[in-house]
Amino acid sequence: MSKTLSIVKIGGNLIEDVDKLHEILDLFAKMDGSKILVHGGGKKATEVGNLLGIEAKMTNGRRITDAQSLEVAIMVYGGLVNKNIVAQLQAKGTNAIGMSGADGNSIVAHKRPVKPIDFGFVGDVNAVNGTGITTLLNAHFTPVFCALTHDGKGQLFNTNADTIASELAIGLSGDFETTLYYCFEKKGVLNDISDENSVIQHIDSEKYTKLVKERVIADGMLPKLHNCFHALQNNVKQVCIGDHTMLENSSSNYTKLTL
Amino acid sequence: MSKTLSIVKIGGNLIEDVDKLHEILDLFAKMDGSKILVHGGGKKATEVGNLLGIEAKMTNGRRITDAQSLEVAIMVYGGLVNKNIVAQLQAKGTNAIGMSGADGNSIVAHKRPVKPIDFGFVGDVNAVNGTGITTLLNAHFTPVFCALTHDGKGQLFNTNADTIASELAIGLSGDFETTLYYCFEKKGVLNDISDENSVIQHIDSEKYTKLVKERVIADGMLPKLHNCFHALQNNVKQVCIGDHTMLENSSSNYTKLTL
């Protein structure tokens, strides 16, 4: 298995900033080998939802995706954000092709069980169709995934973009030596949350357990890293967490996770 | 050249009607051989635009696509309508993949010249990238195109769906024996516009000239048929015009155009 694959997930906040998005897409376009981009949606969906008079519904502080919110997600993530990223990548010489989980039946999901909370049209992933995506990669397409999946029976779902990225990485690790990059605002996992320069360069399973015990990894970082180690335990070669500068070849100031 | 390709364009009005859309997609899913679906957008874009407070801008009775209207088109055609059709086709066993002209750099266009009227972000097609689309078709994907193109420099455009369909047919006729189907509300080109049963079954170039002279073909039908003969003159094998029932194998009550 000699072919490498890079899967890059960029968060919603990075997409809001037009200049930063350009910069990220420039770096992504320059990456060698097969690659996939996964993007979140950012505040645009909330903005459009508000303009359309759709109130964000919350239960116990968690967002609910009702039928109208799903329509907005499909319009904004699947349409506006996805097509603009595809057009910009094409301008940078990358043969991007926009995808949801329905396209090419690439990510099949089921509606999240309604207990204890009914999240509405939120999908939990069953399976990634590696064959179809591998066909696209081998034909030198660069898939750009938005955070939508489907149930194979005509229903689309909202699905967390971090999950989409890790499931894709797991599903494709049979065919590729896969590295998963999570781009966000910080330079990586920090030893001291108040010190941006305290990036922990390498975390393996043992160190991970220790950092969780010491509560260095806590709050929002916990599910994120849990997701990363889940991917590593399922044949993904490595996971990198940091800001977009980690996509540069020369960069080393980010957190690298291995088993 | 033994491989056949069917390109089916369905109009916006047909998409509005949920039951009819199901029926059309059922027939499309059952068609043999390589196939492509092209869809318009229907009134949903106007509805969403109105809800977002975007006024439809007109000059001399022609619709102008300003930056905001383009955003709505990308959301509604490229997102909502496209992804829902893809998910429904997947449920019917067709391996659909949603596309705009930016995806896979499949349709490159330029901004329509601003004189005599500046239509805004409306694109006139330069070229169809047959290679990429043929790769998808040979890998048993069924592309579903919305009516968006791009300039290869990061700009998306609104482009007429009839034009997208005929340009795709022309661009792929080097690799496939191509039939182009235009589905609309009527059973075909009518001899007597007040008689739905007066469908002209076959029109060749000679008869076309005659029908135009006799003003049997007039008004909205003129540019439509001009478009069809343009495709035929560029190696498309045949063009069929009628309602969706023409997609059934057994059907014969529609208008077939050949050179």
pLDDT in tens, B148-162: 999 999 999 999 999
pLDDT band for A230, please (50, 70, 90 cuts). Answer: very high
Contacts with B74 from chain A: Cβ below 8 Å? 79-80, 83-84
Q: Do A104 and B141 touch (CB under 8 A)?
A: yes
d(CA A164, nearest CA chain B) in Å: 17
Cβ neighbors of B240 (< 8 A, separation 6 or more) are B179, B180, B181, B182, B246, B254, B255, B256, B257
Contacts with B103 from chain A: Cβ below 8 Å? 83, 86, 96-98
Please provide the average confidence, as pLDDT, over all residues in chain A. 93
Look up the pTM and report it: 0.96
Which candidate, A145, A18, A164, places its Cα nearest to that of A86?
A145
Q: Which helix (H) or strand (E) holds B255?
A: strand B255-257
**Interatomic CA distance for residues A178 and A188, integer angstroms:** 19
The strand pair at B156-158 and B148-150 is best described as antiparallel
Q: What's the pLDDT at B14? A: 85
Contact in structure between A41 and A72 (CB atoms under 8 Å): no
Tens digits of residue pLDDT in A124-145: 999 999 999 999 999 999 999 9
Instruction: Give the residue numbers in A contacting B (CB under 8 Å), as ranges.
Output: 48, 51-53, 71, 74-80, 82-84, 86-88, 90-91, 95-100, 102-105, 132, 135-136, 139, 141, 148, 150, 152-156
Contact in structure between A156 and A148 (CB atoms under 8 Å): yes
The strand pair at B238-242 and B255-257 is best described as antiparallel
Q: Which residue of A53, A75, A102 is in closest CB contact with B87?
A: A102
Q: Which helix (H) or strand (E) holds A135?
A: helix A130-138
- What are the structure tokens assigned to B59, written together? 């000059």
d(CA B244, nearest CA chain A) in Å: 21
Q: Which residue of B71, B78, B90 is in closest CB contact with A102?
A: B90
Where do we find the tokens 């004189």? B115
Contacts with A46 from chain B: Cβ below 8 Å? none
Q: B181 pLDDT exceeds 80?
A: yes
Q: What end-to-end distance do the CA atoms of chain A give, in Å?
A: 19
**Interatomic CA distance for residues A157 and A155, integer angstroms:** 7
Please provide the average confidence, as pLDDT, over all residues in chain B. 93
Contact in structure between A5 and A178 (CB atoms under 8 Å): yes
DSSP class per residue in B155-189: -EEE--HHHHHHHHHHHHTTTSEEEEEEE-SSSSS
Contact in structure between B189 and B243 (CB atoms under 8 Å): no
Q: What end-to-end distance do the CA atoms of chain B give, in Å?
A: 19
Which candidate, A2, A5, A9, places its Cα nearest to that of A34?
A5
pLDDT band for A2, please (50, 70, 90 cuts). Answer: low
ipTM above 0.85, yes or no: yes
Where do we find the tokens 């869809």? B39
The strand pair at A142-145 and A156-158 is best described as unpaired
